[in-house]
Amino acid sequence: VQLQASGGGLVQAGGSLRLSCAASGSNFRSYALGWFRQAPGKKREFVGAVSLGGVSESIADSVKGRFSVSRDNAENTAYLQMNSLKPEDTAVYYCAATHNTWGLPGTAVTPPPSDVYVTWGQGTLVTVSS
């Protein structure tokens, strides 16, 4: 599967953006999707993830209550809805795909670490001004 992230841009603090992650190629439904971000001079960090079929979702504590993740298997697209944006949310945001089956009945309840993701999109820059 190939991933293309889009939707980034410049927004004022308190504003909203919705990032999209469009997939092409192999069966989108067989992948769990994750969102990560990397701010200048900082390590990449987990933002959110949605499991196979959208059964389960996970959001990082740092953005909980403001961000949400979803997927539309019919459109081969995953989304990251970002509300109440803060300057500290400024980063390049990446979507990634893994065959990991977290979130399904009888499996892990939390998404895997970033090194389990096999395909990464090119990233989209989000800049939040104060």
Distance CA 120, CA 130 (A): 30
Question: In whole angstroms, what is the distance from residue 51 CA to residue 12 CA?
Answer: 31
Given 3-state DSSP classes, what are the helix, strand and coil percentages for the chain, each rounded to the nearest 5?
10, 45, 45
Average pLDDT, the chain: 95
Measure the CA angle with vertex 98, ends 92 and 99; round to 5°: 170
pLDDT at 89: 98
- Return left, alpha or beta for 110; rule: phi > 0 is left, psi -120 to 50 is alpha, else beta: beta
Q: For 45-102, what is each residue's pLDDT tens digit?
A: 999 999 998 889 999 999 999 999 999 999 999 999 999 999 999 999 999 999 999 9
Rg (CA), the chain: 14
